[in-house]
Structure 1
Amino acid sequence: MNGGNNMRGVTTAVLAGLLLCAAPVAVSAPAAAASDASQDLAALYNQNTDLAFRTGLQHRLTWTGDYAGPFDGRIGPQTLRAVRDFQARNGLAADGIMDDAFLKLVISKSDAARDAVGFTQVTDEATGVRLGLPGALVAPMGETEVGSLWRSDDGGIEIETVRFSKEGYTLDGVFGVLSQTGPGKTVSQAEQANGGFTIRGHEDGREFLIRFSGRGADLRGFSVAWNADHADAIAPYAEVAAQSVEPFAGEPRSGDVGPMARLFESGRAEGVAFGEGERAPATKEATPSLASPAPGFDSSGTGFVVSKDGWLLTNAHVAKACKTVLVGELGPASKVVVDENQDLALLKVDAKVGKPLPIVAGKPRLGEDILALGFPLRSILADSLNVTRGNVSSLMGLMNDANYLQISAPVQPGNSGGPLVDLAGRVVGVVTAKLNAVAVADLTGDIPQSINFAIRPDAAARFLHAHHVAFETADASLALESVPDATAKVQDSIYPVLCLGSN
């Protein structure tokens, strides 16, 4: 096949250009492909070009926005369609033939797209993940509780690396959580393959892409989310990053044992609370300074409205020792009150908030159906409210602590401080912790299932009374409703909470 031999001969000449770094090199079109319209172009290219050439082509067409698929070097219908789409958009004959004009133009266009975002490869020390970043558009914001964060100046782009290794998660379990749809969230693709998964979708006005891989209990990946203002630049970048990320390129810093590596510290739930950091004084009142907040966030959680004058309730381990506490889109809390002994905190917000959630008097009933609402795994779920269902499995916490409930509703990092509500929308607890299944298994040889904890409503009410917060007591006669209806009653009063810069 003379045309095929000609293509193989020019592959070496154009390879450097197609592999992202060199200037265009003039080539000749394969004669057989150009003259014989019935020739199977896919077979021609696969049989007579190098794998590196084909992989580079897919890489290039991803930067131009024409290809969204694996960099597997296989020229099939998807790659040929991308070639034809590129040709049609750029005034070339849409015949799938990779001639001199096509090669020069695809190199030029892809170089321009790559250079516009300042694409550069980095290895994240917090997770060991190696990925490309759009360095011209985002800046490092520091480490999170599970990885690292990069963000654009306007907040329209967020990129995060994530690693779970000590929490006992499985790849299937994380996939199940992240692939769920919900209010304001749609999933356009959720695919598991080759020891990992990819999820694409739209959430709260932003597109997102999540890519994860796993080696046993070591799960690593990244997410990128962007709004419409950045779509032209970031959508191609996200596809390139997803196909080229190396989750296990390096090892995290030695001594990094994860945010939930300890089981118990004092016989209560402190050692298994989400987002633990350095201890703050037992009780404090502070007005956060916005002069020089530290980049990134040291912990995240959830808070909910408890009074008409802007007080929200959350966990102490979410808000303690923070230079600034951000409450969703409401901005920084103007006042923070923390009581570590009860693991409760109050946040004052000087903005319009949702209706206060009523708190039941006393305690819920054993076995009662409950919902845990919050913002779990924020590093990869963005700001989507998550709802899980379970029941009250014990009216006591660890070591028979009467300030806590044991619940079966699944909770994750970021749920801390969120409300536990019954099916009438009444607050029956404050989510605070989950038992570390890995640590318990090490101690007992058995893996515990669905053992999580919440602060009892009577303990929360005492805390609110002590700080003179005018909260509402729930009406005990309210009828129970469906899960969607109960969620709808409370969802506008629940906010993500970020702790910026530990003191």
Structure 2
Amino acid sequence: MLAISAVWAGHAFAQTKPAPTTPAPAAPVDAVFEAAKAAASAMGVEDFASIQQDLIWTGDLNSLPSGEMGKRSYEAIRAFQKRIKAKETGIFTPPQRITLAQHAAKFTARYGFTTITEHGITLGYPAKLTTARMEGKNGPHFATPKNDVTLDILAIPAEKESFEALFARLKTERPGRKVTYSLLRPDFLVVAGSNDGKSFYLRFVKTDTDSRGFALGWDPALSPGFDRVSIAMASSMKLADDGKPAATEAPPIAKPADKPAQAPEPSKPAGPPVPLPSGASTAAKTGLGTLVSSNGDILTYAGLVAGCETVTLQGGATAKVIGGDLGNDVALVRATPPPGPAPLAWRQPPLTQGEAVALLSGPTPTATTVTALIGGNDDSRRISLGSGAPGALIDKDGALAGLAAANGEATALKGLFVTAFLRASGVTPPERGGDPSKATVTLSCTPKS
């Protein structure tokens, strides 16, 4: 019996032994794509995401910014390079990156793309078009005068409709409504299609208490140019308060049985856009600013303008303080009418270690170098320089590349954070950069006591 089993086992093994196979040929390596991928990785996630965001605005990329190079982003860069008649490498040169930002800025300016916070979400929207506003049951409704673009910003309580039920309702088709794309994930959903002759794009995020998002509708006659707005809105959307429900800004509607409302108390002054820190001096301060747009936008320091609603420019003109970030010591003021000199161009690629730069601390830029890509105490927001002085940091082409420390320390806030602050404040890059030696402005501020 043992012998028979052994023979059978050997027979079975012989029958199931795989025949020798020829190894499949390795897939060819796309050296150009791999080089572009390596360049994007070296750039960093945030910097490459800003490139992807601009490619959305130029209509070359139809996906959300990830900060990573994929085939879509690679082909989008090559498409833009082809359009400007550059070599299609998939890697932007510094001048090409500036050109991309300028092209993107034309579209953001056309639509007046502005950041808004409503019902617990912050997102950009086409404010220049959707000028009419009404208050709806679940959030504000915006529209163009012709009603060819509509926008609803919504917060739907979970007890009224669950996130999953909302998705099921939104993706349901009916006569006149066709869904061309739908996606449900544990924390967000997307539905797109057409409804009664209008294109639509819906995106919601899930919180513990509600579903928050937007519904954008537009006349297909506005496509393909307007289509990029929906992707730009989706990429800009984020929770404004860590998932906690936000109080609506709309006043309550009185019911017939309600008592007459009492006259509101006089509103108190809003105060300066950048509050004066507790215990800070109220003495007059003078410092530097740099022209960064043709609309009279001036980049300066939050510590300089804290406690002021306006500042005085050299020559006696005034400028309004728009806002600032004391943590990064960066602020924006706006002069109307704009000062005469042309503003600086904005550099997009990050600086590299050892790169020659200059400090714009007066009419004559002071040369220095980037000694490290991180500031003291491992501050990832800053770079280290060979020398320090207050003022804008500019590259060899005279483009804005950062903001040097106000106290003269040999560090500078990275250009990524500076331009992100400017964009969030509604500033767009200039069409063409001016002479750096003429872009410096002296500002004076007397804080309110």
Query: When the two structures are superposed, what TM-score results if normalisation uses the length of structure 2?
Result: 0.46
Q: Which has the larger radius of gyration?
A: 2
